[in-house]
């Protein structure tokens, strides 16, 4: 079984970008943690980041026919992208939304999420550990690899 983990704009700069908000660990660290969690259980992990909305949508379309679940940190597109919501609405598997920071503690424009209209669960404010929490939930839901 294949699990997709997708990351939106500016997350390539994780570790260097506003570390007081997002921490010092990099996206490579996030990927390593995710692999360490799911690969020993027999799942295949597809881990991607893009600054381009169309690329995230193309990966969601790919996941649609090949994956058993998807975890996404849509970053700023969370708050703007009807297109990503529409793409997620074509998927029938579990979808989890992750935010490293607690978006509800921040500016009001971060309080609304288009993606939450589709997500089966949302994790915010748990730092990069949020990805692992979401993946644990995914494995619980989809069962043995
Ligand atoms: C974020 C929160 C978003 O509001 C922001 O635009 C991001 C990262 C987070 O992980 O906390 O880029 O999704």
Nearest to 32 by CA among 132, 105, 143, 134: 132
- Phi, psi for residue 67 in degrees, rounded to 5: -110, 165
CATH number at residue 41: 3.40.50.9100
| Predicted structure pTM score | 0.98
Residue numbers annotated as active site: 22, 99
Q: Which domain does 29 fall in, by range? A: 2-142
101 carries a ligand binding annotation: yes
29 carries a ligand binding annotation: no
CA 76 to ligand 1: nearest atom: 6
Q: What is the pLDDT along the chain (145 residues), one digit of tens a residue?
A: 999 999 999 999 999 999 999 999 999 999 999 999 999 999 999 999 999 999 999 999 999 999 999 999 999 999 999 999 999 999 999 999 999 999 999 999 999 999 999 999 999 999 999 999 999 999 999 998 7
Check: CB of residue 124 under 8 Å from CB of residue 101: yes
Residue nearest to atom 9 of ligand 1 (CA): 99
Structural domain total, the chain: 1
With a Cβ cut-off of 6 Å, ligand 1 is lined by: 10, 73, 75-76, 78, 99-101, 103, 110
């Amino acid at each position: 079984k294949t699990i997709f983990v997708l990351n939106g704009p500016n997350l390539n700069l994780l570790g260097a970008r506003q570390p007081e908000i997002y921490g010092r660990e990099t996206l490579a660290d996030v990927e390593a943690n995710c692999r360490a969690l799911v690969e020993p259980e027999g799942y295949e992990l597809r881990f991607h980041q893009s600054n381009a909305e169309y690329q995230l949508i193309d990966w969601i379309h790919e996941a649609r026919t090949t994956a058993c679940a998807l975890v996404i940190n849509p970053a700023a597109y969370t708050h703007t992208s009807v297109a990503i919501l529409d793409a997620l609405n074509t998927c029938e598997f579990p979808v989890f939304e992750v935010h490293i920071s607690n978006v509800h503690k921040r500016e009001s424009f971060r309080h609304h999420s288009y993606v939450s209209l589709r997500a089966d669960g949302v994790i915010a404010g748990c730092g990069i550990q949020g990805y692992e929490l979401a993946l644990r939930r995914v494995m619980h839901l989809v069962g043995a690899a």
